[in-house]
Each structure stands twice: as C-alpha cells, then as structure tokens.
Structure 1
C-alpha cells in the first residue's frame, strides 16, 4: 500500500469539512481533483472510506481508522520537514584572528564554537587586531580575537601573554630585525626601544604572517619580537641588552550588528570554557 501525503491531507480536510466541495475550497483545489484523490486513496487502501447519506459524507469503520493514522502521519511529515529545513540552514559566523594566534587559540576556540552551533559555517580571517576592530565596526566580522593592554577593559578576557625576543643574536653585531606589521604592539615596542637605546638595526621584513616571521628567525637571518605563546621552538633571548617588550591580554570582542549570531552570553560561555594549549 502506497499513500500519498497530500491525499491524506485532502482526506483529513474532507472529513473535517464534511464535504468534498468545502475541502476543495479550503485547499484551493477543484472538487474534481479532490474526488480523484479520494478515489485513488480508497484504491490504495483497498477498502471504502466513505458512505453517503443524502448530501452528507460519513466515514466507514475503515475510514475512522485511517483518519486516526492520517492525522499522525501528516503531523509527523510536517514536523520532520520543518526540522530538516531548519537544520539545513547553517549559522554563518565570521571570525577575525591575528595570524600569530592561529596555532594557540584557533583550535580550542573553533571546537567551542562548533559546540555552540551544531550546523556552523565558520569563516576565519587572519588580520591584525586593529584591522579586526575596524571590520567589526563595519559589520564585516561577527567575532574577533584581539590583543589589549593589561590596564584596558576592552573585550572579554581569554588569557595573558608576554612579548619576547626570539632567535640568535650576538651583541657585538648590528641587529637584523623581523617584526609584524606596524600596527602590532611588539613592532612598535621593538623599534621604539631600539631607537631609544640608539642601537644600529635594520628591519629586514615586516611580516603579516607568524610563520613567515618564524621562518626568517629560524634561518638565522634576524631576531624577532612576538608573543611568547607564538614562539614555538624558537630560542627566547634574554632582555639584557635588548629593550623590554610589553605584556598583553588576549580577548574576544563581538560586533553589535543585529544579524550577529554571537550574543554576550555566548562570549561568557567561551571565556569560561577557554583553555589555551600550552
């Protein structure tokens, strides 16, 4: 037996309206189309469903049985379809994160975001903290990982980090330096600190990528300035003879656009559950 769900829907309308004509009007179909559906449904069931008494329709015993199941089947069909259509819609979340935190922050943060949204479409954009803040203000991002000064209250705290010098350096030689772009706190502190010490140095590269900076340092072409969590296996230099680098807080901020799926309660949950991989 093969029953069409739309035929069952029409059957329910016929019974509830006590008329093929009124059912046709309710379903915006012709009476002949409804009559054909009921004829086909009775053929599929193999038993009569209606009996007429004058102009009124009466259900047979088999019709009463089918009516009970038809309502359940149509409800289950509609609920299933609504759930599946809702599930098909992914939650788009646009995340900005500085490249130097990709190894330390993104794995844990990505895992938490997918726990909050089961059908998540996550777009990750690597850029500096200042560019992330601009993109959030313009509604181009929903969530951002940025650095802030320890005395600032901007964003929701994730963890504390310290700037370090990395590489191999001989104090008697001039300094070759690899740093991040000019809006990086460590870039500013390294350049300004060396200038105050009146040291001779040369910036061999302003890097947008942490992997590029680490590669230059690892090859012995320069020393670098970056967060300790991003140093990986690079040797950390003592600050003796080199200017100190600032400490920073790593925080989460969100845009205030109405379409942003990330709410303040989500930020709190992420902050509480965040554990940076050591």
Structure 2
C-alpha cells in the first residue's frame, strides 16, 4: 500500500505556486535541499517524473500537472478537517482592499482558496481606487491593501510588474477615431499616463466619459464608444486588448503593490498575504502556466 504524504504534496504545490524550488523553500521555511528531497521521494513513490529538469526552467510534466490538481484538493481537504475538528481554528475578519481594475481574475481565486483553508475567517473585500485605499489603510480601516502604482515604497511589497494596455470592444473601431475617445474614472492613476503618452505622440484625445463608476466605464467601452487602459491580463472577458499595430503609443509598466503584510502581527493576515503573492506571481509570469524558473 502506497500513501501520499500531505507535507510532501504541500511542498510540490509550493514549487508550482512560487515559481521554483528556491522560492518554495523560502515560503515553506525549509532548505532547498529538503524541498528537492521531498520532490524526489514523491517521484519515487509514484514511479513517475513530475518535473522536467532538462532545460533552464522547471516545467511540470503531464503527470505533474495531473498530480497538481489532486494535490490541491487533498491539501485543502486536510486543512479543512484539521480546522473544523481541532481547537486550533482561526476565527475573525480581515479587511482586504483591492483596486477595482485588478479584482479579476486573481482575487476570486484567492478568496475561494483561503475560505477553504480558513472557513471561520471572513474576508471583507473593499473595492476602491488606489488613492482611497491608501487613505483607508493609513487610518487602520484595512488590514491589507493592494495598489496599482508606478513606483514602490519602503512600506510596500511589489508583487508584480505589468504593462498597461489599451482596451476596447471586441472588433471595435473607437481606437481609430481622432480625437481618440476615452473613458476613465476621475481618480484613475492610469489616466495621466495615458494622456501623457498620447500628447507625446501628437494624438488628439477626448475624455467622453469621466465618472466614479467602473461599471459605467466598462459599458461605454463595450459599446465601442471609447477606449480605456488596464493592466495586462486584468481585462474582463467582454473586453479585449486593442491590436492597434502601433497606431497608439505604448504604455508604461505598472506595479501591483501589497501593504500590510510585514506590519501585521496577525498570523492569519500573513497567511492571506501568502495567497495574494502566489496568485499575482502566477498571473503575471511571462512563461507558460506549466513553466517556472528553477531558482
């Protein structure tokens, strides 16, 4: 009878979620050699090669990808059983602030996974703009916040860096119009960057919608009445990145920063920070989903 070990499966998941053995070891508070040994024992137990180590990057084999799905379910079930049937149950509420434009696709996955691991902890999501979230965080109204900024600060941790993209309606033509019709929220931090690049390129523009409602922006852009900008990979399914072939200027890189992870003394808040790091590092890697750096 062969039995899978939850600790070993957790290490395997950490390698996948954190981009390689080195980062996984740091996340697990283990040495690299310990993590590598666990992976080797797992492969020997199953008689399968789970990681392709032939190139400069580590990639999951087909068997590794299949095991990863099972591992997530088994670890989640293990944590749920321990949480529900022992006295070591974390309870309480965490206030998490996230800018509207990066809620999807990462945050629903984070909330789902975190709830499975800590079912008695309520995560209250506060969706707003970066400026208001930083104000709330400074007042202690939020335990953790994510921001979209052009720079990082001493009290923040940069989780990812991604370029801004021009976003429009599928098959739309609004981006061809001059002046270029644009729709932005009043306090959007992307707005001045887009305007600056347009003016540097000598492209006339017109702010046809200026509102505090992100839903109004989405509807306007989906109707092909304007364009907007979003961080690469965060656009909703009903909008697309505009293939303008150089007709619009390239936009700058934006940082996704995390505030509160280091300052808190709460273990459960620190755990939520781990889930956020994993989600945004996997969303923003330029490699294929099944590939990670070895270090």
Q: Which residue of 2 aligns with 1:252?
A: 258
Distance 1:225 1:139, change over 3 A: same
Aligned mates of 1:269, 1:236 — CA distance in 2 = 27
Aligned mates of 2:261, 2:123 — CA distance in 1 = 16
Contact 1:150 1:247 in 2 (8 A): no
RMSD: 3.4
**Residue 215 of structure 1 aligns to a residue in which SS?**
helix
**Residue 243 of structure 1 aligns to a residue in which SS?**
coil
Distance 1:228 1:214, change over 3 A: farther
Aligned mates of 2:167, 2:234 — CA distance in 1 = 10
Q: Flag the structure with larger Rg.
A: 1
Q: Which residue of 2 aligns with 1:130?
A: 131
Instruction: Give matches, 1:93-242, under 5 Å.
Output: 93-149=94-150, 155-167=156-168, 168-169=173-174, 171=176, 173-184=178-189, 186-232=190-236, 233-237=238-242, 238=244, 240-242=246-248
Normalising by structure 2, we get a TM-score of 0.54
Q: Deviations along 1:199-233, whole A, 9 cap, x unmatched? A: 33211223444433221111111111122223234
Deviation at 1:162? 2.0
**Residue 230 of structure 1 aligns to a residue in which SS?**
coil
Aligned mates of 2:279, 2:229 — CA distance in 1 = 29
**Residue 134 of structure 1 aligns to a residue in which SS?**
helix
Q: Which residue of 263, 272, 277 maps to 1:271? A: 277
Q: Which residue of 2 aligns with 1:74?
A: none
**Residue 221 of structure 1 aligns to a residue in which SS?**
coil
Contact 1:112 1:270 in 2 (8 A): no
Contact 1:91 1:117 in 2 (8 A): no
Distance 1:119 1:196, change over 3 A: same
Aligned mates of 2:265, 2:213 — CA distance in 1 = 30
Distance 1:269 1:100, change over 3 A: closer
**Residue 233 of structure 2 aligns to a residue in which SS?**
helix
Normalising by structure 1, we get a TM-score of 0.57
Deviation at 1:188? 1.2
Distance 1:208 1:101, change over 3 A: farther
Deviation at 1:194? 2.2
Contact 1:182 1:188 in 2 (8 A): no
Deviation at 1:118? 2.8
Deviation at 1:172? 5.6
